[in-house]
Amino acid sequence: MKDNAKDEGAERLGVSDFLKFVYDGQPEWSLLAIKAPMDEVSEEWADFRGAHNVSRDVPREPGKEYDDMGSHVAVVQVKGNPWTIIFRSLQYVDERQMEGVAEDAKELSARLSTRAISFIGEDTSGAIAYKLFEKGKVLEDAEWEDGGDFFRFKSTLRKRPALESVEDEFVDQFFRELGIYVPACYPREEGSRVWLALEKESMDLVEKADLIEMPEEEGEGEDEDEDEDE
Total number of domains in the chain: 1
pLDDT for the residue numbered 67: 59
Q: What is the pLDDT at residue 98? A: 84
Q: Which domain holds residue 70?
A: 7-229
CA distance 201 to 17: 7
Predicted local distance difference test score (pLDDT) of residue 124:
85
Q: Is residue 206 a contact partner of residue 60, using CB atoms and an 8 Å limit?
A: yes
DSSP label of 219: T
55: Cβ contacts below 8 Å, ≥ 6 apart: 72, 194, 210, 211, 212
Distance CA 137, CA 105 (A): 10
Query: Residue 1: inside a domain, yes or no?
Result: no
Per-residue pLDDT of 44-90, as tens digits, reads 999 999 999 999 999 999 987 665 566 899 999 999 999 999 999 99
CA distance 32 to 178: 13
Q: What average pLDDT values come out for the chain (230 residues) when binned by 10 residues? A: 48 94 92 98 97 95 74 95 96 86 97 98 92 98 94 97 94 98 95 93 97 70 43
The predicted structure's pLDDT at residue 222: 42
Residue 2 lies in a domain: no
Question: Is 106 a member of any domain?
Answer: yes
Helix (H, G, I), strand (E, B) or coil at 39: helix
